[in-house]
Structure 1
Amino acid sequence: MNTKEIIKITINLLIIYIVGGVLLAGVYAKTSPLIFQANEKEKKEALQRMMPEADKIEKLGDWHPHEKHAEYFVAKKDGKVLGYVVQAFGKGYSSYINILFSVGEDFVIKNMDILKQAETPGLGDEVSTESFKKQFPGKKLDTLKVVKEETKEYVQAITGATISSRAVTEDGVKKGLEFLQGALKGDGGHGDAKPTEEH
């Protein structure tokens, strides 16, 4: 192979790379707004599920549990504050669990949902089940505690998945509620505090 052939092959490869890059950029430019819009639609629906009686849910700010971006919101009806919605993250057994929960003005939990998780199938992933989530409405800061025995006061752990249960309850919802109370008081909460180790 002579020098001219090498140059020709090199030029052809460069053209292919450039054309490919332009095509990929064009596809991203067209699809990224659609992805963003879809995510915004899902977010709006999730927020409304947390506080269905609200006619307006406004973002209050951001915080960073486990160095992940999360948001918190105020929910209103006819201009009056009904409560707050907080996104939180809990460090599970095999994933960071993305959580959304709402509280009234009295900081009592109203609703809780799992937005995303990748816990062990048949064990930790049961944090997404209604039987687990229905334990949260009515809980306060001092009752957001996981126990293994049957309970109405606290949150009963999923059998074989105590770490995942604590990730949602104590590392996620409880820390999110602590942050919210601190943020509303003006001390910034504890959004960047390092999480405690799971045991």
Structure 2
Amino acid sequence: MKQLSPLILSTLALASSSAFATQYLSVEQAQQVIFAEANAFKASTLQLTLEQMHQVEKLAGLPARSVAWRVIAAYKDEKLLGYIVLDDVIGKFELISYAVGLQPDASVRQVEILTYRESHGLEIKNANWRKQFVGKSAGAGLSVGEGIANISGATLSCSHVTDGVRRIAAIAQVALKK
């Protein structure tokens, strides 16, 4: 039997690991879905101070993970409608890209899955699961089993996205709340 070269094997491995990647929304599409009434979006990078990172960790019960966060402010004319924070978390093996829409008071407005790369656990894309986050803030019911239901077969995706949303809600509470 003929052996496959290491180059072919690595190419096959790469292809199989990303074969399940599906992009559902671009960042621009997510902006329109989360803030349909907005007529302007302003992207920026939020730089957390060391003090803010400690506050986020205390509030979320999770490491702040990064100093820099991708934030998009949504406006209707001159009025601030809220923010969108973009993030990636590991599902089981691959990254899940998502966007969290936040009200000016730092409560969650909406969660959208942008790209899902895992072979299992896609159920987190379901609107009913994502609706559980609406209206919640960093200190209120943003944990699997405590306000957010788990989905059998998608446990890691549920847990990691929920932790990510809780972290983002804490960041909003510390650094974005008006």
Distance 1:99 1:79, change over 3 A: same
1:179 paired to 2:176: no
Q: Distance in 1 between matches of 2:26 and 2:112?
A: 13
Q: Is residue 27 of structure 2 the alignment partner of residue 43 of structure 1?
A: yes
Counterpart code for 2:165: V
Asked if structure 2 preserves the Cα contact closer than 8 Å seen for 1:99 and 1:173, the reply is no
1:98 deviation in Å?
A: 0.6
Q: Does residue 160 in structure 1 map to residue 159 in structure 2?
A: no
Question: Equivalent residues in 2 for 1:132-171 (5 A)?
Answer: 132-142=129-139, 143-147=141-145, 154-170=147-163
Question: How does the TM-score come out when normalised to structure 1?
Answer: 0.60
The answer to whether the 8 Å contact 1:66/1:89 transfers is: no
**Using the alignment, how far apart are the partners of 1:91 and 1:182 within structure 2?**
24
Which secondary structure state, in structure 1, belongs to the residue aligned with residue 31 of structure 2?
helix
User: In angstroms, what is the RMSD of aligned CA positions?
Assistant: 2.6
Whether the 8 Å CA contact 2:98–2:113 is kept in 1: the answer is: yes
Equivalenced residues, count: 136
Alpha-carbon distance in structure 1 between the residues aligned to 2:65 and 2:115: 15
- Pick the aligned partner of 2:42 from 58, 73, 79: 58
The Cα of 1:71 is off from its aligned counterpart by 1.6
Corresponding residue for residue 58 of structure 2: none
Distance 2:165 2:127 in 1: 16
Per the alignment, do residues 118 and 98 of structure 1 end up closer, same or farther by CA in structure 2, a change over 3 Å counting?
Answer: same
Structure 2 CA distance for aligned equivalents of residues 168 and 157 of structure 1: 11
- Give the Å deviation of 1:160: 2.9
Aligned residue in 2 for 1:86: 85
Check 1:94–1:66 CA distance in 2 against 1; reply closer, same or farther (3 A cut): farther
CA deviation map 1:88-131 (0-9, x unaligned)? 1222112121110101111111111101122233xx12111222
Q: In 2, distance between residues paired with 1:110 and 1:48? A: 13
Q: 1:42 to 1:117 in 2, by over 3 A?
A: closer
Q: Which structure has the larger Rg?
A: 1
* d(CA) in 2 for partners of 1:71, 1:97: 15
Deviations 1:9-49 (A, max 9, x none): xxxxxxxxxxxxxxxxxxxxxxxxxxxxxx9x932222111
Q: Which is helix-richer, 1 or 2?
A: 1
Q: What is the SS of the residue equivalent to 2:153?
A: coil
Report the residue type matching 2:107 in the other structure: V
Q: Using CA pairs below 8 Å that are at least 6 residues apart, which structure has the higher relative contact order?
A: 2
The 8 Å contact of residues 84 and 102 in structure 1, kept in 2 or not, is answered as yes
Task: State TM-score, norm by structure 2.
Answer: 0.66
Q: What residue ranges of structure 2 are gaps of 5+ in the alignment?
A: 1-22, 48-63
Partners of 1:164 and 1:107 in 2: CA distance = 23
